[in-house]
């Protein structure tokens, strides 16, 4: 059969739509014996299966028609109220439930980015956010990070150089670098947002996953203390309950949320009602929910420590890394000149995988970096997988 020339029929914006590196690697890693540190997959052994089964039965029995009918775009009211009540001075009307924070990022792009508009991102930043924003054709400005994440001086310089639609930032256990921003920087960022009248999009997917210590206030909370209106806040049930539910939330100034709601009407009408009701059933039992989060923290902390040991044992001395205090990722920096895409090819031969760092950089840098996720692997898998990666790495460094 003759193949049709479809390429000329695609919209120009599709030139900026590419397959997600993470999703492509996930396809490779399904074979037996493969040990993958690629996807930031929450630990499936911690999904609260029984609770979810019970709650599903209960919802279908008592509110089945409501759970399976079309519902409002804004989201299930009790869940919106639960989100609002956990944030300072926030009304339920400021909460939009979305189908994963990934959808939240897409909708934010849709309502805030014009072609050529400047969008400030960390270097590196979450590659899924770049995928979400790309079709809206922003001009990215990449801001460097250090041990404590985004540096406010770099942000101010970028803001002085020109207006921007928003800054996209992950202050807590940044994906991919694992960095945790301190309180002073958080305050500085919020003050800069006010001074330069720029919106901050705060992606707080990993907020609950700290190993010890007290959580730091979010940028959203700090901005609320000063009167609010400058931060659009995203968080998700993916990392504490289960990502397959696709339930997350966007919170922000009323007019922005209203635009997002209208954009969502064109995207999927509303997020699955049954899943929203399920999430609410689970989180409303505060003691149980805290216990669930604590189990995740303890498990990830152990897995992180095993990965640290394995890295110390098996990585060549030229390789550096950041040891996270929470979240799911180690971020590795190899010597300049080592191409982590080529390393991935060799690692796959050794039946292990990671995500190469370059797709996390809007400016195409970071070739010698890579991300490892420890959330889903056992002690043995971490030890064996890092040993394989170390072998692949040493082979590359010798040549
Ligand atoms: O709320 P949800 O499940 O849509 O999570 C999307 C998301 C939003 N923001 C940040 C900072 C995230 O890290 C994520 C999820 N990222 C994972 C990762 O590996 O970086 C999941 C991707 C898994 C996949 O593509 O299958």
Question: Which of 129, 205, 356, 374 should be mutated for ligand 1, with most atoms under 8 A from CB?
Answer: 205
pLDDT tens digits, one per residue of 63-80: 999 999 999 999 999 999
> What strands lie across the sheet with 369-373, from one edge to the other?
320-322, 329-333, 369-373, 355-356
pLDDT tens string 244-295: 999 999 999 999 999 999 999 999 999 999 999 999 999 999 999 999 999 9
C-beta separation of 169 from 200 below 8 A: yes
Residue 275, beta-bridge partner list: none
Within 6 Å (CB) of ligand 1, which residues are found?
20, 22-23, 26, 39-40, 100-102, 126, 128, 170, 175, 203, 205, 236, 238, 243, 248
Reduced to 3 states (helix: H, G, I; strand: E, B; else coil), residue 141 is strand
Q: Tens of pLDDT along 227-250?
A: 999 999 999 999 999 999 999 999
Whether residue 16 contacts residue 135, with contact meaning beta carbons closer than 8 Å, is answered with yes
- Sorted by where each starts, the structural domains of the chain and their CATH numbers stand as 7-48+294-398 (3.90.1150.10), 49-286 (3.40.640.10)
> Per-residue pLDDT for 53 more than 60?
yes
Does residue 214 surpass a pLDDT of 90? no
Strand ranges (E), 261-364:
320-322, 329-333, 352-353, 355-356
By C-alpha distance, which of 161, 166, 157 is closest to 138?
166
CA 238 – ligand 1 centroid, Å: 8
pLDDT at position 24: 76
Strand partners, 235: 249
Kindly report the pTM of this predicted structure: 0.96
Nearest atom within ligand 1 for CA of residue 99: 4
The confidence score (pLDDT) of residue 3 equals 65
**What is the pLDDT averaged over residues 8-21?**
87
Of residues 214, 222, 199, 17, the one with CA closest to residue 111: 199
> Separation of 6 CA from ligand 1 center, angstroms?
31
* Among 16-30, 211-225, 296-310, the least confident range: 16-30
The set of residues, in sequence order, having a beta carbon less than 8 Å from that of 82 and lying 6+ positions away, is: 280, 283, 284
Instruction: Categorize the per-residue pLDDT at 21 as very low, low, confident or very high, splitting at 50, 70 and 90.
Output: confident
- Residue 236 CA to ligand 1 center (angstroms) comes to 9
Q: Which of 86, 85, 66, 61 is nearest to 76 (CA)?
A: 66
């Amino acid at each position: 059969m003759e193949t049709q020339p479809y390429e000329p029929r695609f919209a120009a914006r599709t030139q900026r739509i590419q397959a997600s590196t993470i999703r492509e690697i996930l396809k490779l890693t399904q074979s037996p014996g493969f040990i993958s540190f690629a996807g930031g997959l929450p630990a499936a052994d911690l999904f609260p299966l029984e609770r979810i089964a019970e709650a599903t039965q209960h919802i279908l029995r008592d509110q089945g028609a409501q759970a399976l009918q079309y519902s409002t775009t804004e989201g299930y009211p009790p869940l919106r109220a639960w989100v609002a009540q956990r944030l300072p001075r926030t009304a339920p009307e400021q909460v939009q439930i979305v189908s994963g924070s990934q959808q939240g990022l897409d909708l934010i792009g849709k309502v805030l980015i014009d072609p050529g508009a400047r969008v400030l991102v960390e270097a590196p930043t979450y590659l899924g956010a770049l995928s979400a924003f790309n079709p809206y054709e922003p001009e990215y400005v990449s801001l460097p990070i250090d041990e404590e994440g985004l540096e406010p001086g770099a942000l101010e310089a970028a803001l002085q150089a020109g207006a921007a639609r928003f800054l996209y930032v992950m202050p807590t256990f940044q994906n991919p670098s694992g960095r945790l921003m301190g309180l002073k920087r958080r305050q500085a960022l919020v003050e800069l947002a006010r001074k330069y009248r720029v919106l901050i999009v705060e992606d707080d997917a990993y907020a609950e996953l700290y190993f010890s210590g007290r959580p730091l206030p979010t940028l959203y909370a700090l901005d609320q203390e000063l009167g609010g209106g400058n931060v659009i806040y995203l968080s998700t049930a993916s990392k504490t309950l289960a990502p397959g539910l696709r339930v997350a939330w966007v919170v922000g100034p009323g007019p922005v949320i209203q635009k997002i709601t209208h954009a969502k009407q064109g995207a999927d009408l509303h997020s699955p009602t049954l899943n929203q009701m399920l999430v609410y059933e689970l989180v409303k039992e505060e003691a149980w929910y805290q216990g669930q989060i604590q189990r995740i923290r303890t498990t990830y902390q152990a897995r992180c420590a095993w990965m640290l040991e394995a890295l110390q044992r098996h990585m060549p001395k030229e390789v550096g890394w950041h040891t996270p205090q929470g979240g799911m990722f180690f971020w590795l920096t190899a010597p300049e000149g080592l191409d982590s895409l080529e390393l991935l090819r060799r690692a796959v031969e050794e039946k292990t995988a990671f995500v190469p760092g370059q797709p996390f950089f809007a400016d195409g840098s970071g070739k010698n970096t890579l991300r490892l996720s420890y959330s889903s692997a056992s002690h043995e898998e971490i030890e064996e997988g890092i040993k394989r990666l170390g072998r692949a790495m040493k082979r590359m460094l010798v040549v």
